[in-house]
A and B are shown apart, each in its own frame.
Chain A
Amino acid sequence: MRGSTPANPIQKMILGRLGIGIFTLFVISIIIFLAISLLPGDIAEQVLGQSATPETVAAFRRELGLDQPLAARYLDWIAGVVRGDFGQSLANGRPVADLLGARLGNTLFLAAYAAVISVPLAVLLGLLAALWRGGWFDRIANVTTLTAISFPEFFVAYILMFWLSVRMGWLPSIADPGAAPDLGERLIRTFLPAVTLVLVVTAHMMRMTRAAVVNVLGAPYITMARLKGASRWRIITRHALPNALAPIINVIALNIAWLITGVVIVEVVFVYPGLGQLMVDSVSNRDMPVVQACALIFAAVYILLNLLADVLAIATNPRLLHPR
């Protein structure tokens, strides 16, 4: 931001954090691998279910190489990943990359849709609430968003679906856009799930915005700005907000990460083929390569968004680069 000197430390920090991130992913993959192997039953028993017999289970395991020791299977898998090959689903033999491709796109689309609505909305509401703090707007905004976040997502989803879809018939109740959707169709189909997510994430970001802004409003330079005659809106957006950005960015990053990784219930209710559903199905089937790939994506999302949040926070406040 200011000259060329801080650029190098930032680069250094990014590289360092990426390195730690890759190490984290590696550790996560081991933990997930061990955790899944601790669950009762393996894929052969899960897929065959009631019709499993000792011979068919043994044949199943033989075919998938599940009769190998745990460590050998892990090394085999990680060797493939290093070469960029995520392997095949144990359950249906499809390449993991194919399974993930479309679903990752869907998940990112829905998350982006919800974020594009909720982030500006939350920040704006937060600023207005800070502007009129203690007033009726502040209270209504707080009560409404807190109410929305307090209901479980599936409840919000069912209520929206019941009114807007079943009763009014305005919007479709199924969000699956079909095999070859166009953008308009997609936006309409995913509107209800996006709104559900907006209602769930807005409160958190709005309250953080309000709190952070209110926090700096007591600072002497705000009094100075007021004394020189700046309008209240200008004080909040030009003087208070820039200094309150770091915590807001962090909360936004966490919420966006949640929008990508934590929306499986909304996916189920609206029949939306995203990553969450894939991961849940794969865990219940003990489909290791798919679980691993999903887990790595989710972990990478968290790592990258946190890194991005820190970089942005430092960009707004370079002092953060030098922790005391």
Chain B
Amino acid sequence: MMKNQMGMTRRGLLGGAAGITAAGLILPRMALAQDGPKRGGTLKIGHSGGATSDTIDPATYAAGPVVTAMLAVCNNLVEIDAEGAAVPELAESFEADAEARIWTFRLRGDATFADGRRVTAADVIASFNHHRGEDTKSGAKGSLAQVKDIRADGDGVVVFELTSGNADFAYLTSDYHFVIMPAKADGTLDWQSGMGTGGYVLENFEPGVRIVLKRRDDYWKKDRAWFDTAELLTINDPTARQNALMTGEVDVINSPDLATLHLLERRPGLKLVEVTGTAHYTMPMFCDTAPFTDVNVRLALKHAINRQEVLDKVLRGHGQIANDSPIAPANRFYAADLPQNSYDPDKARHYLKQAGMEGLKLEISAADAASVGALDMVQLFQQSAAAAGIELSVKREPDDGYWSNVWLKKPFCVSYWNGRPTEDDMFSLVYAKGAEWNEAHWDNARFNELLLSARAELDTALRAEMYHEMQGIVSQDGGTIIPIFVNYIDVVKDTVAHGKVASNRFLDGWKAVERWWQA
């Protein structure tokens, strides 16, 4: 079995770092599981974030139980492992040309949909085209703007042609929007079937109530999908979620209430699964709007927020201090050695003086719709900024429509990002010049130049160097205050076992159903 796993996972890896980290991955997983995973049992998850409006259409997934379920029902071309590396999933192998512009994915021959049909290039193309083109309503449309053409090369090979080189394109295909579902005869996606190539089939889907998954015996991965059934209950009330775990109604919950987490932790039979991923709170300032046009003002504000206090009081310590750069310790090219922007009222005053704006008055728009505790955060900011002579007033915005009416509209507001597994994806989406979601209207020539060259660079050492410099630029010149990274926390009964968990989302990178097993 071990041999089988190693052979399968290693086959056809992209050269370089991905290959090395991926080969190392299986060993710790096996080592942690002393008895080895065993088949059987039911996994019950008390999940936050479900609503009666949930749909299984990958274009408009809401980030809740549907995604956890659909990542057990479907596979992607590539998945992110516990080390944060992209490893082949439905693609048996993938490779790029020398410019990283033409990407070729070879599909597995043994993966079938739940109705027994083998997955072909047409299905993959339909799954991606669902998020492209004029009429798509997909939230992932922006990520695929770089794709010029997708074509089949026979039944088992899909070729992506990009507008310019992107060494990280394989990572992108692991996004939960890009699950592979069957194509209809006319080339559109048959998402209504709810069918995938994964280890489970959708047995019952009651939006906002429950999703029941049943194991498939003919799943192509032999070392995954251990539970016979999985039930995902939507429990949006944090207290109810915790009570459900304590009374044994569910085995796992995500997003526990941080205020009472220390009490929950004390209960016997429960354990915390906590990872620092790439999720972060941000406060973008429009760099083309006064007073934020002056970098000194931006630096003053970056030194006027007490990050430690925000971490302690808003997240109760369940996170990490960030350095105004969206690249997290979980990312491959994280620059840990950059000088840290920290709370220093004198320094903030100094920068304000440089800008000639002592006694600066500002307004920040905030709502808890942006992130849990966003209002608390800006209130703490208000206090710490006052000590630096900045008069910050908080404008409380309605939760409804926050992302449409406030974010990207108001010059100074709060925002939130789950982050991306790759530096390029994160920077291109939010920090590149002219990007749709460039929430700070930031435009730095050197940064934009580096972004393009790093994207097409296949030499890992060179890329590391470039991303290091870019993180420094964002941290010092950028228009976004990023005070903290927030942890993903699940609470799990000790009847459930798992290997090292991935850090790219909660519940083991949203793949707990497929990866975990009964202890």
Contact indicator B141/A56 (Cβ below 8 Å): yes
Q: Is the interface of B mostly helix, strand, loop or mixed?
A: loop
How large, as a class, is the contact surface on chain B? 35 or more
A-B contact count (CB 8 A): 140
Q: Say whether B53 contacts A287, CB under 8 Å.
A: yes
Residues of B within 8 A of A158 (CB): 239
List B residues 204-244 near A (Cβ within 8 Å). Answer: 204, 206-210, 212, 233-237, 239-240, 243-244
Residue from B53, B57, B415 within 8 A of A89 (CB atoms): B53
Q: How far is the CB of A61 from chain B (nearest CB, A)?
A: 9
Quick check: A45 and B209 within 8 Å, CB to CB?
Answer: no
Chain A residue contacts of B407, Cβ below 8 A = 50
| Minimum CB–CB distance for B69 against chain A, Å | 14
Asked whether A285 lies within 8 Å of B51 as measured between CB atoms, the reply is: yes
CB < 8 Å neighbour of B206 from A48, A62, A102: A102
Partner-binding segment picked from A121-129, A174-182, A223-231 = A174-182
Known contacts A41-B405, A56-B141, A173-B249; A166 and B243 CB within 8 A of each other: yes
> Smallest Cβ distance from B105 to chain A, in angstroms?
24
Chain B residues, Cβ within 8 Å of A254: none
B52, B236, B398, B400: residue with the most chain A Cβ atoms closer than 10 Å: B52
Query: Does chain A have a CB within 8 A of B299?
Result: no
- Whether B134 pairs with A59 at a CB distance below 8 angstroms is yes
The one of A60, A166, A179 in contact with B246, judged by C-beta atoms closer than 8 angstroms, is: A166
Q: Does A270 contact B (CB under 8 A)?
A: yes
User: B380-407: which residues lie under 8 A (CB-CB) from chain A?
Assistant: 398, 400-401, 403-405, 407
Pairwise interchain contact A161-B243, C-beta atoms closer than 8 A? yes
Tell me the nearest residue of chain A to B56, going by C-beta: A92
Quote the shortest CB–CB distance from A89 to chain B (angstroms).
7
| Interfacial chain B residues near A62, Cβ < 8 Å | 135
Cβ-closest chain B residue relative to A45:
B404
B340 within 8 A of A: no
A22 smallest CB distance to B (angstroms): 27
Among listed A195-203, A209-217, A271-279, A304-312, interface-contacting one: A271-279
Inter-chain contact B57/A92, CB cutoff 8 Å: yes
Query: Which residues from chain B contact A161 at a C-beta distance below 8 Å?
Result: 240, 243
Report chain B residues within 8 Å CB of A174.
233, 235, 240, 244, 247, 249-250
Q: Is the CB of A60 within 8 A of B137?
A: yes
Which residue of chain A has its CB nearest to the CB of B140?
A: A51
Contact of B141 among A55, A268, A278 (CB under 8 A): A55
Are B139 and A52 touching (Cβ within 8 A)? yes
B60 at the interface (CB under 8 A from A): yes
Neighbouring B residues of A165 by C-beta, 8 Å: 243, 247
Q: Is B436 an interface residue (CB 8 A)?
A: yes
CA gap between A33 and B194 in the complex, in Å: 32
Find A40's partner among B62, B210, B233, B401 (CB 8 Å cutoff). Answer: B401
**Number of chain A residues whose Cβ lies closer than 8 Å to a Cβ of chain B:** 52
* Residue of B137, B206, B244 with most chain A CB atoms under a 10 A cut-off: B137
Interface positions of B from 350 to 403, Cβ below 8 Å from A: 398, 400-401, 403
Interface residues of A in 50-90 (CB under 8 A from B): 50-53, 55-57, 59-60, 62-63, 89
Partner of B240, one of A52, A92, A269: A269
- Picked from A41, A176, A285, the residue with its CB within 8 Å of the CB of B210 is A176
Whether a CB of chain A sits under 8 angstroms from the CB of B109 is no
Docked-complex contact B209 and A273, CB < 8 angstroms: yes
Docked Cα-Cα span, A88 to B403, in Å, equals 26
Q: A50-B403, A158-B239 are in contact. Are A172 and B247 (CB under 8 A)?
A: yes
B54 within 8 A of A: yes
Closest residue of chain A to B51 (Cβ to Cβ) is A281
- Cβ-defined partner of A53 (8 Å) among B60, B208, B436: B436
In the complex, what residue of chain A is closest to B209 when comparing beta carbons? A273
Residue contact B400 to A284, C-beta cutoff 8 Å = yes
Contact between chains at B233 and A269 (CB < 8 Å) = no
**Inter-chain contact A277/B204, CB cutoff 8 Å:** no
Decide: A179 and B204 in contact? CB cutoff 8 A.
Answer: yes
Interface residue ranges of A156-208 to B (CB < 8 Å):
158, 161-162, 165-166, 169, 172-174, 176, 178-179
| Cα of A161 to Cα of B246 in the assembled complex, Å | 11
Judge if B75 is at the interface, Cβ distance under 8 Å: no
Q: Are B139 and A56 in contact, with the CB atoms below 8 A?
A: yes
User: Pick the contact of A273 from B53, B139, B206, B398 — CB < 8 Å?
Assistant: B206
A-B CB contact pairs (8 Å), 15 listed: A40-B400, A40-B401, A41-B405, A47-B62, A48-B137, A50-B415, A53-B436, A59-B137, A63-B135, A91-B54, A99-B207, A162-B243, A271-B240, A284-B400, A290-B52
Binding site for B on A (CB under 8 A): 39-41, 44-53, 55-57, 59-60, 62-63, 89, 91-94, 99, 102, 158, 161-162, 165-166, 169, 172-174, 176, 178-179, 268-271, 273, 277-278, 281-282, 284-285, 287, 290
Closest 3 CB pairs of A and B: A51-B139, A91-B53, A41-B401
Interface positions of B (Cβ within 8 A of A): 51-57, 60, 62, 134-142, 204, 206-210, 212, 233-237, 239-240, 243-244, 246-247, 249-250, 398, 400-401, 403-405, 407, 415-416, 436-437
Taking A52-B139, A179-B212, A282-B53 as known contacts, 9 extra A-B pairs with beta carbons closer than 8 A to each other, sorted by chain A number, are A48-B139, A50-B407, A55-B141, A92-B53, A92-B57, A99-B207, A166-B247, A173-B240, A173-B244
